[in-house]
């Protein structure tokens, strides 16, 4: 099988479940990882024969992708803030909206930074705390997650990317566990916020593969994590500190009111799609 034949083989398969643009993007990503060559180089050597090992992998990848498994899990990689993160089914796939949250935090920092303590609630792949540590080098960055599997992934990424983050396992909804933590200047979180009822409208590549505990909250208590963060901040946020959170696009007003009632000032920020997706809160 030549380089070109391999490309068309995968593209034609993926076009049965994705639109052509998305199928083309996934094909390009897979072929680059498979061959180690960028698209332009692959076009130059389109008639070169791929190895038996590469052809076997191509068939394995295509079978998994046709089951709607996200390409990031198939290849065990996702890009975030210009860094390549290892990902598997223990963690959510990092998304562009979360990059916007990180950039918002950076833009609110007063440089040069001398001493700064940052806490990330819900480590996942570690994309938030690792990106913040890389950009704010003098900051002391903490992050915790209830999932041992997620922490293993986050610690691997911190090691691979050469960033020092204090990762710990902790159940945030258990208030007794808060005693283990100091005060912080910045608290950040992309907590679970999708109501269970929204499952029926979600794509199978998310619903069947990404960890449900990192996505969904009960329909009757959709703000459960924001309530906990607001309460936590009363004892663990420095007076001049800020809380930054990603939010469900339809719950911005409710989250803002929750924090205002808990004696915080709030600011809602829209993402690139002009949706309410982030909120900043500070103690009044």
Average of per-residue pLDDT values in the chain: 94
**What pLDDT was estimated at residue 241?**
95
**Percentage above 70 pLDDT, the chain:** 100
Q: Are 231 and 243 in contact (CB under 8 A)?
A: no
Question: Domain residues of the chain, as ranges?
Answer: 3-67, 90-283
Given a cut of 80, is residue 119 above it in pLDDT?
A: yes
pLDDT in tens, 157-205: 999 999 999 999 999 999 999 998 999 999 999 999 888 888 888 888 8
* Among candidate residues 268, 185, 189, the one with its CA nearest the CA of residue 227: 189
Q: Are 108 and 89 in contact (CB under 8 A)?
A: no
Given a cut of 80, is residue 283 above it in pLDDT?
A: yes
**What pLDDT was estimated at residue 168?**
97
**What pLDDT was estimated at residue 207?**
86
Distance CA 42, CA 28 (A): 10
Given a cut of 90, is residue 120 above it in pLDDT?
A: yes
Given a cut of 80, is residue 114 above it in pLDDT?
A: no
Given a cut of 80, is residue 22 above it in pLDDT?
A: yes
* Among candidate residues 223, 246, 229, 247, the one with its CA nearest the CA of residue 283: 229
Number of separate helices (H) and strands (E) present in the chain: 11, 11
Of 119-133, 202-216, 237-251, minimum mean pLDDT range = 202-216
| Token pair of 101 as six digits | 């949250």
**What pLDDT was estimated at residue 218?**
87
* Among candidate residues 46, 8, 10, 41, the one with its CA nearest the CA of residue 26: 10
Given a cut of 80, is residue 6 above it in pLDDT?
A: yes
**What pLDDT was estimated at residue 213?**
87
Distances (CA, A) of 122 to 73, 77, 115, 171, 253: 19, 19, 23, 10, 23
Tokens 């916007």, residue located: 100
Rounded to two decimals, the pTM is 0.93
Residue 219 binned pLDDT confidence (cut-offs 50, 70, 90) = confident
Q: How many CA atoms lie within 13 A of 142 on its CB side?
A: 18
Given a cut of 90, is residue 90 above it in pLDDT?
A: yes
Q: Are 283 and 241 in contact (CB under 8 A)?
A: yes
Q: Once rounded to an integer, what is the mean pLDDT over residues 92-106? A: 96
Q: Are 57 and 9 in contact (CB under 8 A)?
A: no
Could you name the CATH architecture of 90-283?
3-Layer(aba) Sandwich (3.40)
Given a cut of 90, is residue 220 above it in pLDDT?
A: no
Given a cut of 80, is residue 113 above it in pLDDT?
A: no
Q: How many CA atoms lie within 13 A of 215 on its CB side?
A: 19
Measured torsion, CA atoms of residues 70, 153, 242, 227, in degrees rounded to the nearest 10:
70
């Amino acid at each position: 099988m030549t380089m070109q034949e391999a490309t068309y083989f995968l593209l034609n398969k993926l076009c049965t479940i994705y639109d052509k643009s998305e199928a083309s993007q996934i094909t390009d990503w897979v072929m680059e990882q498979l061959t180690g060559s960028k698209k332009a180089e692959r076009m130059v050597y389109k008639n070169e024969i791929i190895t038996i090992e590469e052809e076997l992998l191509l068939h394995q990848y295509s079978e998994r992708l046709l089951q709607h498994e996200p390409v990031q899990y198939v290849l065990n990689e996702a890009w975030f803030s210009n860094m390549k993160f290892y990902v598997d089914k223990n963690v959510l796939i990092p998304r562009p909206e979360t990059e916007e949250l990180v950039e918002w935090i950076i833009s609110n920092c007063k440089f040069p930074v001398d001493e700064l303590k940052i806490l990330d609630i819900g480590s996942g792949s570690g994309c938030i705390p690792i990106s913040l540590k890389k950009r704010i080098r003098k900051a002391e960055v903490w992050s915790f997650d209830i999932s041992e599997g997620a922490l293993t992934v986050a610690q691997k990424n911190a090691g691979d990317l050469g960033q020092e983050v204090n990762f710990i396992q902790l159940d945030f909804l258990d208030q007794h566990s808060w005693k283990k933590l100091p005060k912080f200047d910045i608290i950040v979180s992309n907590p679970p916020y999708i109501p269970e009822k929204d499952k029926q409208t979600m794509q199978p590549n998310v619903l069947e593969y990404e960890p449900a505990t990192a996505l969904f909250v009960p329909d009757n208590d959709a703000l459960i994590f924001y309530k906990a963060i607001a309460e936590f901040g009363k004892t663990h946020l420095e007076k001049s500190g800020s809380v930054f959170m990603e939010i469900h696009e339809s719950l911005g007003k409710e989250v803002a009111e929750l924090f205002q009632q808990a004696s915080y000032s709030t600011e809602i920020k829209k993402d690139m799609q002009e949706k309410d997706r982030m909120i900043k809160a500070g103690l009044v």
